[in-house]
Amino acid sequence: MRVREYWRRVWSDRDLEFAREFYAPRFTQNDRETTPDAFVRGADAFLKHFDGFETTVDRAFECDGIVVTRVVYRARHVRDFPGVPAVGAALEITGLDVFRFEHRLVVEHLHEADHEAMWEQIGVALPPG
């Protein structure tokens, strides 16, 4: 399954160039139009904050050109986010993603991850609610 290869190569192996083969030249991510180049820049900027970033596909479902995955992310926070110092905290969060394919390329990607749990695990006190 091409989506499993995406999770392994892009996120676990940091082979960001694979994203250029995976996404259509223009695609939507969370209802915003973007490009593989913009995706690669954003993924690279995010991954720089972590060591040992890896993904495990916990579940995957495919039907009529749509693939849904539940992924577990693990990493160690080693570089500061603006206003959030790195304390070396180990993270484990989950995410759900929906990929819609046309002609073997992703034309729509809906991504949800438990970012609240990520911030809590690196020591950021979130406001209630």
Q: What is the pLDDT of residues 87-101, one digit of tens each?
A: 899 999 999 999 999
pLDDT for 128: 75
Are 36 and 59 within 8 A, CB to CB? Answer: no
Higher-scoring residue by pLDDT: 20, 82: 20
Task: Please give the model's pTM, rounded to 2 decimal places.
Answer: 0.93
How far apart, in whole angstroms, are the C-alpha atoms of residue 109 and residue 31?
8
- Band of pLDDT at residue 6, cut at 50, 70 and 90: very high
pLDDT at 125 exceeding the cut of 90: no
CATH class of 2-121: alpha beta
Q: DSSP label at 8? A: I
pLDDT at 129 exceeding the cut of 70: no
Domain spans of the chain, in order of start: 2-121
How far apart, in whole angstroms, are the C-alpha atoms of residue 109 and residue 24?
11
Range in 69-73, 74-78, 123-127 the model is least confident about: 123-127
**Structure token pair of residue 78:** 């080693």
The stretches of the chain forming alpha helices (DSSP H) are 2-6, 18-22, 36-47, 115-121
Dihedral of alpha carbons 110, 112, 113, 115, sign: positive
